[in-house]
Amino acid sequence: MDLDTFSSLVERPDESARRGAEERWQQLAVPRGGLGRLQELAAWLASAQGEAPTRPLGTSRVLLFAADHGVASLGISALDARGGTAERVRAVLDGTAPVSVLARRYGADVRVVDIAVDADPAEFPEEVVRHRVRRGSGRIDVENALTPDEAARAFRAGMAVADEEADAGTDLVLLGDLGVGSTTVAAVLIGALCGTDAAAVTGRGSGIDDRVWMTKCATVRDALRRARPVLGDQLALLAATGGADFAAITGFLLQAAVRKLPVVLDGVVSAASALVAQRIAFRAPEWWRAAALTGEPAQAKAYDRLTLTPLQDTAVTMGEGVSAVLALPLLQAAGDTLAEPAAVPTAKPLPPRAPAKLPTAAELLGRY
């Protein structure tokens, strides 16, 4: 695959629409900066849509890429390495997962893409598994996660999903992931791309204790040694120490930028993939916004490198697209206030009052 073409294909969001949004705020009866972050978000939406005022968001999609990772077999997660990812996929599909509940509340559809879940594909609907590349992945501390061909197929699958969403009229993607062991893989990719050591990027993930954290840290250290020789080749990096979901999300993010589809990043997995995508097309991050920090040190480093400021501080650590969905009403509010602004009434002067007649000293003394 020739990834260099993305640099020329990815355009910046419409700067004239952004300026139009900012000029519109100045014309409205809104105090300067009175709506705070909403004004910046509305300008971003206008530039992504290419028009000001904005179109209200009406067809948002929660998109979750699901995959298993070989490093989970080392016990570096509090979640079950065997069947844990498939169980989470089923919870999303049957509507009981938190992300499903929140998506219903805020009017967003949910889509799951099984790209490498370690389960029989017959367990899930055809529309969930039709982009599957393989079952699970290799243990990245000792072997490659994918073959070069599998990495390219996963990358293209992500691109295809972006095209499907753009063609379907989706106006905002809330991007998340489902996968046991995925925070370990994300730590490796971010650590390699940011040039940091294992301890600086290894977090608590699913809520592990100190003993498990040390095992996880050693796993990240060993995988970093395998990542560094292939840093100059993004697909080779994703094959060596990534996974099918990371390759697919990277392809999705780049093609979404090509198709001018704005994306909200959820957790450390989408942050790691975004960092890889930035290496391929430096303008692509202008099409993304970060939902929130999840407490993973690697995620904070990735957002700093991407110059993305999280929209909220919700203290949500579970991933699965929850933080991204929680950012949806904020973005809806930003789009609505610019599209249909409510005028803020200005203060009217009070009618003049007749001066009060004060009692004289004699009148006051006469009362006593």
Per-residue pLDDT of 268-310, as tens digits, reads 999 999 999 999 999 999 999 999 998 899 999 999 999 999 9
Catalytic residues: 320
Q: DSSP letter at 60?
A: E
Burial (0-12, 13-18, 19+ Cβ within 10 Å), 31 = exposed
Residue whose token pair is 């009175």: 34
* Banded pLDDT at 366 (limits 50, 70, 90): low
pLDDT of residue 79: 72
Q: Which of 82, 116, 94, 120 is nearest to 185 (CA)?
A: 116
pTM: predicted TM-score of the whole model, two decimal places: 0.90
Q: Which run of H or E residues covers position 65? A: strand 60-67
Better-scored residue on pLDDT, 260 or 29: 260
pLDDT of residue 345: 41
Question: What is the average pLDDT across 311-319?
Answer: 85
Give the amino acid at 142.
V
Q: How far apart are the C-alpha atoms of 362 and 171, rounded to whole Å?
A: 78
Per-residue pLDDT of 207-236, as tens digits, reads 878 888 898 999 999 999 999 999 999 999
Residue 89, Ramachandran bin (φ over 0: left; ψ between -120 and 50: alpha; else beta): alpha
Domain boundaries, the chain: 57-339
Q: DSSP letter at 11?
A: P
Residue 341 has pLDDT above 70, yes or no: no
Residue 367 has pLDDT above 60, yes or no: no
Task: Measure CA 191 to chain center.
Answer: 19
Residue 95, Ramachandran bin (φ over 0: left; ψ between -120 and 50: alpha; else beta): left
Residue-averaged pLDDT of the chain: 90
Q: DSSP letter at 230?
A: G
Helix axes 234-241, 268-280, angle to 10 degrees: 150
Q: How far apart are the C-alpha atoms of 34 and 279, rounded to whole Å?
A: 37
Tokens coding 188: 């490796």
Q: How far apart are the C-alpha atoms of 271 and 281, rounded to whole Å?
A: 15
Kindly report the CATH number that applies to the domain delimited by 57-339: 3.40.50.10210
pLDDT of residue 323: 95
pLDDT of residue 75: 87
* Banded pLDDT at 344 (limits 50, 70, 90): very low
Residue 346 has pLDDT above 50, yes or no: no
* Banded pLDDT at 23 (limits 50, 70, 90): confident
pLDDT of residue 359: 60
Residue 54 has pLDDT above 90, yes or no: no
CB 198 within 8 A of CB 187: yes
pLDDT of residue 350: 47
Better-scored residue on pLDDT, 75 or 263: 263
Better-scored residue on pLDDT, 360 or 242: 242
pLDDT of residue 122: 94
Q: How far apart are the C-alpha atoms of 237 and 243, rounded to whole Å?
A: 10
Opening angle at CA 180, ends 290 and 171, nearest 5: 35
Long-range contacts of 216-219 (CB under 8 A, 24+ apart): 216/74, 216/76, 216/184, 219/71, 219/74, 219/76, 219/141, 219/184
